[in-house]
Amino acid sequence: MLHRRCVEQRRSDFTKLPGIAMNKEAADQPNQAEQLTTRRDFLAGAATAAAAASASVSTLLSSTAAAQEAAPVRPLGGSATGKIFVETDTAYGRVQGIQTTGIKQFKGIPYGASTGGRNRFMPPKKPVAWKGVRECFAHGQISPQALTDLRSDYGIMIHWDYQPGGMGEDCLNLNVWTPGLKDGAKRPVLVCFHGGGFTTGSSNALGYDGAQLARFGDVVVVCVNHRLAAFGYTQLADLGAPAEFASAGVAGIMDLTASLEWVRDNIENFGGNPNNVMIFGQSGGGAKTTSMLATPAAKGLFHRAAVQSGSMLKFVPRDRATASAEALLKQLEIPKSRIADLQKISWQQLLEAQVAVGGAGPGAGVGPVLDGKYLTHDPFDPAAPPESAAIPLIVSTTLEDAALGLSNFTLSEADLKALIEKRYKDKGADILALYRKYYPEKSPYLIQAMLFTDSGFRRSAIKQAELKAAQGTGAIYMYQWDWPTPAFGGRYGAVHGLDVSGSFREARDGNDMARVADQLSSSWVAFAKTGNPNNSRIPPWPTFDAKTRATMVFGTPTQMENDPRGEIRSFWAQMPPPAGLLG
């Protein structure tokens, strides 16, 4: 039999054992005494209709939680049933996974063939079928990428330095967590696209473990790896490339479509319902989700969507993408007349050249290209995409999203004033006065992070929600994550990415994050099941519209607000458009 061997010992194995997982008491009762400061702590409509939906989902959630706690806990490993290994079928061969506490997990399942050699820059091809049983215990390869800067507290804090699975071009694979196999249960399927812009990261990272969410919600969770940066978004069509390179600027998006086709064709064997698929992602994952909302080839492959701090309104223009591709060729000393030679060099050489010309980090300006063929229009400019008009959507930000890129923690009030005046000139004094009116006690660093978020991340998210609401078909819900991490003495506030662990029901330290994670993950499950996020863990959550601007604020306490921070929102709405998500 053909087997895929486990070639690494993942340090996350220990933390995934049943006894380490968050229990019901931790979810229901916040521990206010704990204020941990280690990096692990970071990871830590009508009213009647809403009430009816909430009651229905609450019954599902309560029965699920009760069933989960019925069995005795086995803290350091082992399955109470005695059965560890499980098998099921895919269209390309049989796979073997491993289970604990009723959750079956399969890692590194291929949904496409290797993208190396003659397949580089090409549309994804189907996986090569295998005989026998393929072991899916270890993560598959991730797309080639530059590693995290070890000087970045933020990068280390979110474990972005830990991307297991090895690196290479055989990266079209996915990970699955499910409570059942071939049982006809037709569970909702939650498909996550990872963050890191379009240049870094993977679904193998610690923050994308779907076990707790699958166990809590009785849902199937799928996390996808795909091509990034130069490997997925090099626009060669306008440089005289042979015709077969026409899709090189959108190959990464084509990978995402291929992953959803795999879900459609295979997920019933994993206990899921191919006709009830929710796609979601945070940061770059949110931008990928936004892209799929406007991808004609993906229409019908998903049925709900959520965009977390990743509201990308436009694709990369062809001329800018072409200039980047030209710079890459120059760095590699490959003439335009020999573009096909790009398939002959090693992936290491291609990555080195990509980094040399500035395409390394999440903010490098790399992404899907408006090629006019596969992607025919911008996603949310000037209007919401017609391809996904009927799809219910959640859009969100965190209060201090922009803190991810800021390290001037000792910023003084005088320095803050000077920074604002330099950036916004005659508006500087008004801006500082506006923020100090509402946040007199916030550190200058967090004031800076908030105003950069409001002028960038949040402004784009609000625009996306407004356009979706104006479309008037599928429901649109908005939330804002205000709960701050206590990590590093609380200096990062409610920083970018905190709600990833919330949506995955990951609160491993058991502090107050467990309460907010319980609320957000309950909303995720409700939305996946019904297209409506209302449930008993949160106040009633109305749909968003341009008049009331209903927004669920996940914080202390979690509450529904109409047009939160409206004066600040109105100020930025009349300012010139931002240069990017960081304002």
Model confidence over 81-99: pLDDT tens digits?
Answer: 568 999 999 999 999 999 9
Residue where one domain finishes, among candidates 337, 370, 391: 391
Residue 46: Cβ-neighbour burial (10 angstroms; 0-12, 13-18, 19+): exposed
Residues 411 and 508 placed together within one structural domain of the fold: yes
What integer pLDDT is reported at residue 63 of this predicted model?
Answer: 47
In a domain, 48, yes or no: no
Residue where one domain finishes, among candidates 327, 357, 391: 391
In a domain, 42, yes or no: no
In a domain, 95, yes or no: no
Structure tokens at 44: 């830590």
In a domain, 231, yes or no: yes
DSSP tag of 369: B
In a domain, 89, yes or no: no
Residues 343 and 419 placed together within one structural domain of the fold: no
What integer pLDDT is reported at residue 74 of this predicted model?
Answer: 64
What integer pLDDT is reported at residue 39 of this predicted model?
Answer: 35
Residues 221 and 348 placed together within one structural domain of the fold: yes
In a domain, 235, yes or no: yes
What integer pLDDT is reported at residue 71 of this predicted model?
Answer: 52
- Which residues are registered as beta bridge partners of 305? 279, 393
Residues 381 and 278 placed together within one structural domain of the fold: yes
Low-confidence ranges of the chain (pLDDT < 70): 1-82, 359-365, 580-583
Cβ 208 vs Cβ 281: under 8 Å: no
Predicted TM-score (pTM) of the model is: 0.88
Residues 359 and 506 placed together within one structural domain of the fold: no
Cβ 575 vs Cβ 455: under 8 Å: yes
What integer pLDDT is reported at residue 79 of this predicted model?
Answer: 53
Q: How far apart (Å, rounded) are the C-alpha atoms in residues 494 and 509? A: 17
- Looking at the structure of the chain, the number of domains it has is 2
Considering only the C-alpha atoms of the chain, give the largest distance between any 2 of them, rounded to a whole number of Å.
Answer: 72
Residue where one domain finishes, among candidates 391, 407, 423: 391
* CATH code (residue 122): 3.40.50.1820
Residues 377 and 413 placed together within one structural domain of the fold: no
Closest CA to 307 of 200, 402, 380: 380
| 3-state DSSP of 383-447 | CCCHHHCCCCEEEEEECEHHHHHCCCCCCCHHHHHHHHHHHHHHHHHHHHHHHHHHCCCCCHHHH
Show the CA angle centred on residue 300, arms to residues 294 and 301, nearest 5°: 90
Residues 192 and 277 placed together within one structural domain of the fold: yes
Place of tokens 């997920």: 267
Helix, strand, or coil (residue 274): strand
Residues 272 and 299 placed together within one structural domain of the fold: yes
What integer pLDDT is reported at residue 510 of this predicted model?
Answer: 77
Residues 310 and 416 placed together within one structural domain of the fold: no
Q: How far apart (Å, rounded) are the C-alpha atoms in residues 257 and 314? A: 19
Closest CA to 150 of 158, 161, 142: 161
Residues 412 and 381 placed together within one structural domain of the fold: no
Residues 360 and 414 placed together within one structural domain of the fold: no
Q: What are phi and psi of 560, to 5 degrees?
A: -90, 130
Q: How far apart (Å, rounded) are the C-alpha atoms in residues 537 and 288? A: 29
Residues 366 and 478 placed together within one structural domain of the fold: no
Residue 489 backbone zone (phi > 0: left; psi -120 to 50: alpha; other: beta): left
Residue-number span of the structural domain to which 446 is assigned: 399-573
In a domain, 33, yes or no: no
Q: Which amino acid appears at position 73 of this protein?
A: V
In a domain, 65, yes or no: no
Cβ 351 vs Cβ 272: under 8 Å: no
